[in-house]
Structure formats: C-alpha cells, structure tokens
Chain A
Amino acid sequence: MIRVRGLRKHYRRTPALLGIDFEVREGEVFALLGPNGAGKTTTLRALVGLIRSQAEELYVAGADPRKDPLMVRRRVGYATGGMGLYERLTGREHLVFFGRFYGLTGPELAERIAELDRAFGLGEALDRQVQAMSSGMRQKILVARAFLHRPQVLLLDEPTAALDVFARRALLDRVLEEKREGKAVLYSTHVLPEAEEIADRVGFLYRGRLVFTGSIPEAKARYRAPTLEHAFIQAVREVEDAA
C-alpha cells in the first residue's frame, strides 16, 4: 500500500529527509516515531504530494504522489494534529464540504455521516457551528473527516496531539478497526506508548534518517530495552555516539 525508497527532501539548504526507506502493508499499522523536527511531517506531506521530493521509489495506494497526487489523495485519509476547522460551518457542513471532494453526495454521504456519528459519537457537533463547539466536539469532527471517504490508506500525523482522552480512545479504536478491515495506516507520533498499543511495526526517524525499522519486539531486542520508549532513546544515543 505504501512503498518508499530513498525519499529525500531539502528545504533550501536544510536537509529534512536523507533517503529513507519503509513500507506499510495492507492491514498494518506502521508507526513513524521521532522527536519534533525529525522529519515526520515532511514524510507525510511528501506522501500526499503536498511538497516536492526526490525518491527512487514512491508509491501510495497504487500511485506515485509526485506524478499523480490527485489519485493518491482520492485514496488516502490525511489528518494532522495541528489542523483546524471553519468557525462558521457546522460539523455536518464540514463533512458535506469535504465529502464532495471525494464525490460523495446525497443519501450516500448522509449514510456515511451517520456511520461516523455512531463510530465517533459526533452527536450535537453535527448541527452546531464550530465557533459554538467545545474543544472535544471539534476534535471529533476533525478526526471523523479523515475517515469520511473510506480511504485505503490512512496517513495520520500526530493525530492525538490535541485530543482529550475520550476522543483519543475513539481514534485509536477506529485505527485498529481500519487495520482489521485491511487498511494500511501510517501513524506518525512522538507519543511512544500510543505506538506500542496500536503499531505492528515501527520506524525510528531521527534527523532525517530512519535509524530503525521493524516490529516492536525486534526493536526491544535490538536495543535491549524493556519498552519501546527505551529502545528509541537507545537508538538515538547510538546515532549521536556514531556522529
């Protein structure tokens, strides 16, 4: 579903990604882990074709985002923790607005919104303008939007950054449900316990390099660490020592 080889990106003279390789298969959650500034957001933006990048191979949901970004975006659900909503639109209007971009209209869209309502407990948020919503309601709409068009691939960048405990739980459960349905999920985060809960495999991204990819048990064994967090810290130390 996602295949990346030699992905590189420079912002003027600043290197952001120095040739990273990984893949995410159907029915798999791959957690991209790294501190702020490691290159996680840049990776996800490159995968959706929002930024120009170089790579030997780059495939997302069967298309190359550099050549056919619209095809990739049709098949991908993308959500970032820092995103917001339109203050004067209701929750339902948000979902209708974004649904139209994916060709969803009429009863089909209404049915999908009802499904998301059941999955995320959107409730009052559907018919209330964002400016009158609580932060919890906003977060639910934000998350539901990414799942709206039943994407084959989910690219989630720090999706729980602004979520309260209920919305966070609903999102993680939804991600696991999507995985069971055979979707590929690329989950970028710096909250390692979260990754430990949902990820099948992880990638440690540090200063634009993917210093480890493998399953969580492999990571713990490779770095002789009791938790994923300890493994990550050890991986970073090794990179620093080598430098």
Chain B
Amino acid sequence: MPPSRNVFWKELLSFLRDRRTLFSQVLLPFFLMPFFMFAPGYLVERLSQQTAAEVQKVAVKGIPAELEEALSKAGLSVFPDPDPARAVREGRADAGLVYDGRRFVLYLKLAQEGMRAEVLRGRIRAVLEDYKTRLVERRLAQAGLDPKVLEPFSVEVADVSPPKAQGTSVFAYLVPMMLLMFILSGAMPVVTDATAGEKERGTLEVLLATPTTPREILLGKAAAAMVAALLSTASGIGGLLLGGAVAARYAESPELEAFSFRLGAEALWATFVTGVLFAAFAVGVMIFLGMLARSYREAQTYMGFLYMALVLPAVLVGMASSFLEPTPAYYLIPVAGPMMLLDAVFRAKADLLAYLFAWGSTLLYAALALGLAAWAFSREEIVFKN
C-alpha cells in the first residue's frame, strides 16, 4: 500500500471512530440545516396566519358606521373608546383608530409588538383601502362617471427567470457561505488532530522517521481532511434539499414556498467541483496553520480566524446577489470567488468565464496552500517546535 494511502486510511479511521466529531460534523448538519433554514420562515408564516385569524380588539373613535361594520366583518372586535391611543397603551385594545373628519390615525404598538402589530396594521389597512375604494366608486357614480375611469390599466408581475433559478429560496445568497463553512468545520477536527495533535501526542516524529517522504504524509492527511470536509458539506446540502422538498410539499402559501430550495443536476455538479477545489485550498491553509501551532488548542485558535475570513466575502456575495454585477475579476478573489460562483450557479447566472475564473483561481490557490503546507512539513524548526 502506498504510504500516502496508508496515512489516509489511518486518518479516516480515526475520524470515523470519533463519535462526537462524526455526530457534530456529519449528522448534525443534516438534521439542523432544514431546521435553521426553513423553521424560522415556517414559524413566521404560521404566526402571521394565526395572528390574521385571531379576533383582535380595535378601539375606535369617530369612524363611520359602515367602516365599523367592515372592520367587524374582517374578524376584528370593534368597540368605541374616548381615547383609543390610551386604550392601546394600556393594553385594553390591540389597535386604535380615530377619524377626525379628514384623516384616519391608526395607533399600534409597532416597536413593542413587532410582527404581530405589522400583521394587524395590514388587516386594518386592507379594510380602510376597501372602504376608500367603495367611497370613490360611489362618488364617481353620483357624478355620472364609470368607476373604471380610475383604472385605465392593470399591472401584473411575472418571474421570467429560468426555471433552474426559480428553485432557489429567498435566502439563496446565504447558502454558498454555509457550504464553505461546512467545508471548514468538517476539515478542522481532522486537520487539527493530524498536525498539532500529532505534535502534541509525540506521534509526528515517529511518523516522519518511517521510510516515507513528508509529502506523502501530507497527501494522506490532506485527502482524509478533504473527505471529512466533503462529508460534512454533503450532509449540509442533503439537509437543505430535504428541508426544501418538505417546504415545497407542505407549503400552505406562496410566501412559505419561497423558502423552498431545489438544485438541478448541473448545479449539484458545479457545487461538488467548487466544494472539492475549495476544500483543497482550505485544507492546505489549515495544515499550514496546524503545523505552526505548538498545541491542539493553539491550532484551534489560529483556525478560528478562518471563519471570520468567510464573513467579508459573504457580504460581497450578498451585495452581488442584489446590486452588484460581478465582472470575471471578482471570481479571482480567494474565498469570495467560489462563493460568488455558487451564488451565480443557484441563480442560473453562471457563464463559462465565471466557471473558468473561479475554478482556475481556486485550483491555483489550493496548489499554493498545499505547497505552503508541504513546506511547513519539511521545516525541522516547524516540525519540532513544541
């Protein structure tokens, strides 16, 4: 068996036997991803629906009887009050509505009640709009005019994005960052154990004293770390797709369906290739950092900074998603490049240049990072620093 494969199997066996790491890096993403990505949206939607169905109390003053009746028909409990604003403040009413003959003032606890107050505002505004329309129609009829005169045309909005892009959810811009984060978190325990951990245990010197080159040892360790990273990422993607399928299947409203997430075969392939290249880059950087560290804890501290390195590109991707039209040069930025490519893939906007620049540059950075790691493995002042 070639030495690099021997090292690879040893590292992989150690990883697979580490139940806690296996659970937190491989199983947990699968079960947590649907929860994190879909549960908040689902919960908000359910609460909105519940709030909309609730009979909420509205204190009113000076409003026309026709409007009062319309509010009651909309499922609101309306009662007269000399000071509706005070009634809301004191908690006797959920909303207050006052009409002074010229304008309506709606009182709500917007800052305190948040979404609940927003939903109530929407309900009351809908009733007011409806009432206003009826008034206008009535007055136009009195003046002998067709109410349709106020609506010379209608407006419809249609999404003409390719079907592939329509499968992504409203938070698709977050997904690339999360995938790269899975790669980091999946590789980190293996790399830390295989570098600083080996130094701390005193096994690295024994390993280097076998008839094997440092490069072969590095290859085996890097390959095992990449497998762990990709397992973690696959688990995360699996969780996302499962959650997306469930959201699409059980969506009770178009708003909830917007949280669904689907990936076609092409997008899955692009994600896989991007993931492999980024994993090679990340593993190279991590091995270098792990070798510099004197202990397991020191290595974890160094590698913790890598998570921060994901945040800035994530902001860039967030901006690119909505406002920025990335030129090919953007895809050359380390970390940001693959993240932007994944974002473009999910939105069916990735062209050949985007693939070439992002994959080509990430491959180059991966080679540089692994070269740096190989250099660290061959430096006695680094290997024996503890």
Binding site for B on A (CB under 8 A): 11-12, 45, 48, 50-52, 70-71, 73-74, 76, 78-80, 82-89, 93, 97-98, 100-102, 105, 129, 145
Please name the residue on chain A nearest to B9 by beta carbon.
Answer: A97
- Residue in A52, A84, A101, A129 whose beta carbon sits within 8 Å of that of B210 in the complex: A101
Indicate the member of B3, B6, B209, B384 with the most A CB atoms within 10 Å: B209
The reply to whether B210 and A51 form a contact with Cβ atoms under 8 Å apart is no
Interface assignment of B148: CB less than 8 Å from any CB of chain A? no
Main SS class of interface, B: helix
Indicate the member of A12, A93, A100 with the most B CB atoms within 10 Å: A100
Binding site for A on B (CB under 8 A): 1, 3, 6, 10, 13-14, 17-18, 201-203, 205-206, 208-213, 380-381, 383-384
The reply to whether B210 and A88 form a contact with Cβ atoms under 8 Å apart is no
A98→B30 CA distance, assembly (Å): 36
Decide: A74 near B211, CB < 8 A? Known: A80-B202, A82-B202, A86-B10.
yes
B14: chain A residues at CB < 8 Å are 86-89
Please name the residue on chain B nearest to A131 by beta carbon.
Answer: B17
- Chain B nearest CB: distance from A198 CB in Å? 22
A93→B209 CA distance, assembly (Å): 18
- Residue in A76, A89, A101, A145 whose beta carbon sits within 8 Å of that of B13 in the complex: A89
A71: chain B residues at CB < 8 Å are 211
Please name the residue on chain B nearest to A100 by beta carbon.
Answer: B6
The reply to whether A88 and B17 form a contact with Cβ atoms under 8 Å apart is yes
A89→B13 CA distance, assembly (Å): 8
- Residue in B3, B203, B208, B211 whose beta carbon sits within 8 Å of that of A86 in the complex: B203
The reply to whether B13 and A83 form a contact with Cβ atoms under 8 Å apart is no
B384: chain A residues at CB < 8 Å are 45, 50-51
Please name the residue on chain B nearest to A52 by beta carbon.
Answer: B380
B202: chain A residues at CB < 8 Å are 80, 82-84
The reply to whether B206 and A83 form a contact with Cβ atoms under 8 Å apart is yes
The reply to whether A97 and B10 form a contact with Cβ atoms under 8 Å apart is yes
The reply to whether B10 and A85 form a contact with Cβ atoms under 8 Å apart is no
The reply to whether A48 and B209 form a contact with Cβ atoms under 8 Å apart is yes
- Chain A nearest CB: distance from B359 CB in Å? 35
- Chain A nearest CB: distance from B63 CB in Å? 74
B205: chain A residues at CB < 8 Å are 45, 50, 80, 83
Decide: A70 near B13, CB < 8 A? Known: A82-B202, A84-B202, A100-B1.
no
A121→B208 CA distance, assembly (Å): 27
A71→B18 CA distance, assembly (Å): 35
A51: chain B residues at CB < 8 Å are 380, 384
A87→B201 CA distance, assembly (Å): 9
Decide: A70 near B213, CB < 8 A? Known: A50-B380, A88-B14.
yes
5 nearest interchain CB pairs? A84-B201, A101-B210, A84-B202, A88-B17, A83-B202
The reply to whether A88 and B209 form a contact with Cβ atoms under 8 Å apart is no
A85: chain B residues at CB < 8 Å are 201, 203
A50→B379 CA distance, assembly (Å): 10
A64→B211 CA distance, assembly (Å): 14
A79: chain B residues at CB < 8 Å are 206
The reply to whether B211 and A73 form a contact with Cβ atoms under 8 Å apart is yes
The reply to whether A101 and B203 form a contact with Cβ atoms under 8 Å apart is no
A233→B347 CA distance, assembly (Å): 78
